[in-house]
A = this chain, B = another copy of it.
Amino acid sequence: MKLGFLGGGQLARMMALAAYPLNIKCAFLDPAKDACAGPLGNLFVAAYDDESALKQLGAWSDCVAFEFETVPAGVLKLIADQAPHYPSYEALLTTQDRLHEKKYFKKLGIETAPFEVVDCLSDFEGAAAKLGRPSILKSRRLGYDGKGQVMLRDDTNLSEALDAIGKVPAILEGFVNFDREVSIIAVRARDGETKFYPLVENIHQNGILHISTALNNDPFQCQAEEMVKSLLDDLDYVGVLVLELFLAGNKLYANEYAPRVHNSGHWTIEGAITSQFENHVRAVSGLPLGDTNMVSPCAMINLIGTLPDTSDILKIPGAHLHLYDKQPRPGRKIGHVTVCASTDSMLKQQVERVLELIK
């Protein structure tokens, strides 16, 4: 079995590490010749819309998967002519535009923050009047890690806010005064078999995920599973899908979904019986899904911008280091540390030891 990936970053790298034990060989298409998944398979260095490279990847692969969701429709068509790809066109397309995504949530009866379309300043003025402040201006396309977003506060000038996101089509989103940010990671096989990982609590710093902690038997597990299941079934989805949620009071609000493995699921490599990476590979390859239960209390801390001393991290009992072989750069995810412990209080101590080293 040969699995081709569009993208050769850390997500593809970790999927490849999970694929080889299943006898699945990997190839990657990435514009960077030093793409960090490169040493783990065939690397086709080319732009993502390079027709000849896409054909090469498609011809090499029994099946194609994606590391990111911003895949242009034309690219998908070229690939579809050569090899089956998962997830489907619809699953990728819907999440490429925040407005479509929000409307899609609504259609499925999945609660979201209130939102308004912002195509120009007059739209924006109307939306701001309706949703009040604080609220958040978000570009409809290509936002990640807090990019393309502006928080609208009492003193924010609307015209400057629009300029800050480059005057692109956007939405204004009502602010959910959430108690917690959580995500639910689910996986669906080709035959419809579906499994859910324990809910994850996520803490962000400067718009970038900082810490994810797996929640055992959380009271909102069931509600979150129902929300993500309606998405998976409606999309006839194949692979791992992650739904980001806000918890406010007793209610979950969908923020966005990622049709792929997700940073908030990196803890599953050691913390769950089968990792999100292995389960994504299993699903897209037509294999049965693995057990998604937790092994022990577990948390993940991102390494962002700079790298602490490797030895110091490795000395922490139960700490697992995952480096992505990427050049350090401010705001760049260059690795993560997973900490497993036998009790929640020991986990908290170990997490604090890691945080001490990276602050």
Bound complex: CA of A111 vs CA of B23, how far in Å?
Answer: 42
Which of B21, B273, B322 is close to A21, meaning CB atoms less than 8 Å apart? B322
Tell me which residues across on chain B come within 8 A of A321, comparing CB atoms. Answer: 21-22
Q: At the interface, yes or no: A77 with Cβ under 8 Å from chain B? A: no
> Is A114 positioned at the interface, with any CB of B under 8 Å from its CB?
no
Contact B273–A318 (Cβ < 8 Å): yes
Question: How many A residues face the partner with a CB closer than 8 A?
Answer: 32
The residues in A between 242 and 282 inclusive whose CB is less than 8 angstroms from any CB of B are: 273, 282
Q: B273–A340 contact, CB under 8 A?
A: yes
Set B26, B40, B287, B314: member contacting A314, Cβ < 8 A: B287
Determine whether A177 belongs to the interface, using a CB cutoff of 8 Å to chain B: no
A331 at the binding interface (Cβ < 8 Å): no
From residue A230, how far is it (CB to closest CB) to chain B in Å?
26
Most chain B CB within 10 A, of A13, A290, A311, A323, is at A290
Q: Is the CB of B291 within 8 A of A311?
A: no
Given contacts A22-B321, A25-B39, A321-B22, contact A311 B340 (CB under 8 A): no
What are 11 inter-chain pairs, A to B, with CB distance below 8 A? A21-B321, A21-B323, A22-B310, A23-B310, A23-B323, A23-B335, A25-B39, A39-B40, A40-B40, A273-B318, A287-B311
Q: Which 7 A-B pairs have the closest CB atoms?
A: A23-B323, A21-B322, A288-B314, A288-B315, A291-B317, A23-B325, A288-B311
Known: A20-B39, A23-B335, A288-B314. 12 other contacts (CB 8 A): A17-B21, A21-B321, A21-B322, A23-B323, A25-B325, A39-B41, A273-B340, A287-B311, A290-B314, A291-B317, A295-B295, A295-B296
